[in-house]
Structure 1
Amino acid sequence: MLREPREGTAREPRERRRPGRVELATAVAPGLVAFLTVGGLPGVVMGVAGFWIALVVLRRREPPEVREERRRLTADLPLAADLMVACLRVGQPITGAIDVTVEAIGGPLGERLAWVSGQLRLGAAPEDAWRALASERPLALLARAMSRAASSGAPVADVLTRLSDDSRRVARAASAAAAQRVGVQAVAPLGLCFLPAFVFLGIIPVVAGLAGEVLLP
């Protein structure tokens, strides 16, 4: 039986999952750097703190499978829209166009579109069927566009053509933003470890020296 996509499904594994080997190995690196930089007992404290801070940062990220699914949804949406437009232009009904697209695309987007096609065949209102996809960010454009088309009676092929162009622009912007985030995420754990080290090695000795000169006769 086809079930409505649920927004919380992709979030549940992130809260229950244990840290993987890659995450543990990555978190060890900044802790080790902090320990070697500071040394002694303060270095041990800073190393442990750096390890846990890096681990928390890494665990707050989405699981790789969720990110991959979102990436595929974003990447496949323009092609799916183009395929549905081609089918509609040759006289296919919307359910037929969706079915052809599902066979060609497959993957997570194919599963969502197959669910919508099943709902339409069962007599569900098109607005409600498409609106159910709006909870997933990569499909929000599709859900809104198709819901408006169903409500207003606008030509679906024209709506999907505009959607294809908009989706490609969104995909390019998402790729550029992801590339920028990689650089920030790579240096953030090291920065969190080096900042306390700088305080211990740079600021505290200077403050202690100044305080000694002021307080001692």
Structure 2
Amino acid sequence: MSASTVAAGCLTVIALVVALPGPATTRGRLVRVLGDARRPPRRPDVVRVGAVLGGLATAIVLGDWGGLAVGVAVAIGLDRSLRRLEPAAQRARRLRELADLPLAADLLAAALRSGAPVDRAVGAVAQALDGPLGDRLTAVARSLRLGAEPEEAWAHLAPVPGAERLAVAAVRSAGSGAALAGALTRLADDLRADRAVATEAAARRAGVLIVLPLGLCFLPAFILAGLVPVIVAVLDDVL
């Protein structure tokens, strides 16, 4: 039996173990029958299956025991690299939340200045935004109405980059009685300034990334037009 056959068999078994669901238990059967919103059914790990298949292809192409070792290394490297990539849906959600956060701070400050309680102001802002950040604010408002501690209620905004400053200001206001509207207005200005700086940095980085391929395109022409004649002339003199 060749090493490539052994590699194919081993990696195929690993892919099947990762892709197929585990053995059904009593609770698992009840979950499938009754449903469980908190624990969705297990789905195949597409990233790991893809990494294993990539390692399998590498091992088969290279063959021998060295190919098996390289295939395992490729599978591990692909698994780790692919998991670092941000899914498109998650990236779109994150960017939408970042874009809505300054507006949410301004709207919440305006609602508080009008005399609305914090929970109603947060709920009104959540309805106005109507997006992923609005969903999180809805959870905050619901927790506040149910009497949760401010730290627990505003923790729903923890996954949003930059929202920790909003949560800290709200928790501090609830504990000390400090005015929250002014802090939110300043926070909105700071968030917009941070976003402007990040946009400018991204534009500069994009310019560098655009110039680099163009430089690589001109490199062969530079070598042929500039270096090759010089090398030919030097060799002609030497020979």
Q: State TM-score, norm by structure 1.
A: 0.56
The yes-or-no answer on 1:182 pairing with 2:213 is no
Q: Secondary structure at the match of 1:146?
A: helix
* Matching of residues 1-217 of structure 1 within 5 Å: 61-186=85-210
Q: CA offset at residue 112 of structure 1?
A: 0.9
The AA in structure 1 aligned to 2:200 is A
| TM-aligned CA distance change 1:16 to 1:80, over 3 Å | farther
Q: CA offset at residue 182 of structure 1?
A: 2.8
Partner of 2:64: none
Give the conservation status (yes or no) of the 8 Å contact 2:98–2:161.
Answer: no
Give the conservation status (yes or no) of the 8 Å contact 2:97–2:132.
Answer: yes
| Cα deviation 1:83-132 (Å, max 9, x = unaligned) | 11111111111111111111111111101101111111121111222134
Identical positions, percent: 50
| Unmatched tracts of structure 2, length 5 or more | 1-37, 39-44, 51-79, 221-239
Q: CA offset at residue 191 of structure 1?
A: 8.6
Q: Secondary structure at the match of 2:148?
A: coil
| TM-aligned CA distance change 1:59 to 1:89, over 3 Å | same
The AA in structure 2 aligned to 1:167 is L
| Cα deviation 1:69-91 (Å, max 9, x = unaligned) | 22221221121111111111111
Give the conservation status (yes or no) of the 8 Å contact 2:136–2:156.
Answer: no
Distance in 2, matches of 1:153 and 1:165, equals 22
Which runs of 4 or more aligned residues in structure 1 lie more than 4 Å from their structure 2 counterparts after TM superposition?
15-18, 56-61, 184-192
Give the conservation status (yes or no) of the 8 Å contact 1:73–1:109.
Answer: yes
User: Looking at CA atoms only, which structure, 1 or 2, has the larger radius of gyration?
Assistant: 2
Q: CA offset at residue 189 of structure 1?
A: 8.0
Distance in 2, matches of 1:149 and 1:128, equals 15
| TM-aligned CA distance change 1:131 to 1:150, over 3 Å | farther
| Cα deviation 1:167-187 (Å, max 9, x = unaligned) | 111221221222233344556
| TM-aligned CA distance change 1:122 to 1:140, over 3 Å | same
Q: Secondary structure at the match of 1:76?
A: helix
Q: CA offset at residue 67 of structure 1?
A: 2.6
RMSD (Å), alpha carbons: 4.0
